[in-house]
Amino acid sequence: MSWSAELVEALGRENVITDPARLRTYECDGLTGYRVQPAMVVLPRSAGEVAAAVRVCARHGVPFVARGAGTGLSGGALPVADGIVISLQRLRRIMEVDPVNLRAVVEPGVTNLDISKAAAPYGLYYAPDPSSQQVCTIGGNVAENSGGAHCLKYGFTVNHVLAAEVVLADGTVTRLGGESPQLPGYDLLGAFIGSEGTLGIVTQVTVRLLAKPAAIRTMVADFATVAGAGDAVTGIIAAGIVPAAVEMLDNLAIQAVAASTESVYTPDTAAALVVELDGPPDDVAEQFDEVQEICRRNGSTKIMVAADAEHRALIWRGRKAAFAAVGRISPNYFVQDGVVPRGRLAEVLGRIAAMADDAGIRVANVFHAGDGNLHPLVLYSEGEGQHDRAEHLSTQIAELCVELGGSLSGEHGIGADKACSMPRMFGQDDLATMLRLRSAFDPDGLCNPGKVFPTPRLCGERPGPYRPHPLEEAGVIERL
């Protein structure tokens, strides 16, 4: 029996997609510049069915890519042409909310925000908050070690996951981590989180819940220059203040937000900082005054303080809608998420602006300024070679972050997008050690192949829009 027939038998015809038109839904993630149509998509309804699908793939040597909501921005869920996509969208049960032990047990298809909604009646919430938290799923968050605006104070997904049930490359179901906060032995759970689907597929997650803070204060500070906003961020952290969040938007991002949603941001300001503090009321009040003074010393032209919870929500709605809003001024863009030391924010933003001018490409900046996690959006139009120029500029920006003492990625992952830049950050021995770890989990390389690590095929033939061969252009051959 063929592998495709085995999958139909294991999961049922209604849970298998082979129609080419329907397969196109799964040909890319949020990084739409790269597209590959898979041979098949399967829609398991349980961890058992995920394991059954993986066992079929293991027997026949079929590569597979796990997919959540498809909101990733590094090509991490890019399919393999001769492989399958295992969609986890139907595994969306919240199994348990335990307010006594401050934890929840959920399936991978549960959205990030739904965890906080389920915990809210107990005065609890789930801290990591990616901008796409309304639609992104916890399975994808685990794969990419997602952060969000409040990761400055509260950390990333890895800091909030206690345990995970996973399906390994041979179809074995195992459990990593445990209910105790301290476990002996190697941290295999830590290795799995952020592995971008290359070590297996998560089918259940136990997350840590936190009590809602007693007080929250939020402000937006305008600046006449991006450099001034960057210097204010450095000053806040240097003063020993750790806000819950410090976000920056430049003018192009602010204009996009204003055009797409009800906005509280000043349309003509060069840059805006969103600063939020939370914790005990007295501490928050004292530090909030200090933050405002630091912003003024660094050239803030206007400070708006959220008057109430509704006003605060409006501020965050605009910030979290920024990526989608930019789509109104440019339907095509690459997003990077390199990290630089906070003290070099002004420098890196200046260099990005100069690089964009040289390339003739617009770049919008909206990012987690508090931990130096940049999110430059490189905008382009189809035709006139803009895709290739934008892709090249995007790669240059990521590698600039490494040059300045930072990292290729803060939370979006390496995926297919930045795999060829990995040798800029890691030596050959480093990459070989990482591959040994991957091979321990997945000896045959079937789990999400072509991601994270540079390969001759990936780095010689980058995925992206179809480029005709010169003989095709000359009419000698034709594309089938």
pLDDT in tens, 16-30: 999 999 999 999 999
Q: What is the dihedral of CA 353, 354, 360, 361, to 10 degrees?
A: -30
pLDDT at residue 469 is higher than 70: no
Number of domains in the chain: 4
47 with 90: CB under 8 angstroms?
no
Q: Are residues 236 and 346 in the same domain?
A: yes
CATH of the domain at 398: 3.40.462.10
**3 state SS of 24:** helix
At 182 the pLDDT is 79
Helix/strand/coil percent split, the chain, to 5: 40, 20, 40
In whole angstroms, how far apart are CA 173 and each of 164, 179, 201?
Answer: 11, 18, 9
- 459 in a structural domain: yes
CA 217 → CA 209, 313, 428, distances in Å? 21, 12, 47
Distance between CA 430 and CA 449 in Å, rounded?
19
d(CA 480, CA 179): 55
Among 99-108, 338-347, 447-456, 463-472, the minimum mean pLDDT is found in 463-472
Tokens of 454: 């540079």
Nearest to 166 by CA among 88, 111, 236, 228: 88
What are the beta bridge partners of residue 87?
A: 67
Q: 133 and 61 in one domain? A: no
Residues 138 and 66 in one domain: no
* pLDDT of 293 strictly over 90: yes
In a domain, 264, yes or no: yes
**Domain match, 296 and 392 both:** yes
Domain that holds residue 37: 3-87
pLDDT of residue 181: 72
Average pLDDT score, the chain: 93
Cα R_g (the chain), whole angstroms? 23
What is the C-alpha separation between 14 and 213, in angstroms, rounded?
Answer: 46
Q: How far is CA 451 from the centre of its chain?
A: 15
pLDDT tier at 477 (50, 70, 90 boundaries)?
very low
Query: What DSSP character marks residue 261?
Result: S
Average pLDDT over residues 434-448: 97
**Is pLDDT of 465 > 60?**
no
Domain boundary among 39, 72, 87: 87
Q: How confident is the model at residue 211 (pLDDT cuts 50, 70, 90)?
A: very high
- 118 and 266 co-located in one domain: no
What string of DSSP letters covers 168-229? -TTS-EEEEE-SSS---S--HHHHHTTSTTSS-EEEEEEEE-EEPPSEEEEEEEEESSHHHH
Q: Per residue in 175-187, pLDDT tens?
A: 999 987 778 999 9
Q: What percent of the chain has pLDDT over 90?
A: 87
Same domain, yes or no: 104 and 178: yes
Q: What is the mean pLDDT of residues 37-59?
A: 98
Report helix, strand or coil for 33.
coil
pLDDT class of 480 with cuts at 50, 70, 90: very low
Residue pair 179/163 in contact (Cβ under 8 Å)? The answer is yes
**Once rounded to an integer, what is the mean pLDDT over residues 417-446?**
96
Looking at the fold, whether 54 and 124 belong to one and the same domain comes out as: no
Give domain status of residue 479, yes or no.
no
Same domain assignment for residues 205 and 111: yes
Last residue of a domain, one of 211, 231, 248: 211
Round to whole Å and give the CA distance between 65 and 63: 7
The verdict on residue 248 lying in a domain is: yes
The CATH code of the domain that includes 196 is 3.30.465.10
Does 61 lie in the same domain as 113? no
Same domain membership, residue 245 and residue 387: yes
DSSP symbol at 395? H
* Cα 382 → chain centroid: 25
Does the pLDDT at position 474 exceed 70?
Answer: no
Residue 412 lies in a domain: no
Q: Which of 175, 238, 258, 200 is nearest to 50 (CA)?
A: 200
Same domain, 324 and 289: yes
Question: What band does 476 get if pLDDT is binned at 50, 70 and 90?
Answer: very low
Quick one: residue 261, left, alpha or beta (phi over 0 = left, psi -120 to 50 = alpha)? beta
Percent of the chain clearing pLDDT 70 (strictly above): 95
Residue corresponding to tokens 């839904």: 25
25 & 160 share domain: no
Domain edge (last residue) among 211, 240, 274: 211
Enter the DSSP assignment of 447.
B
pLDDT at 463 over 60: no
How far apart are the C-alpha atoms of 299 and 302, rounded to whole Å? 9
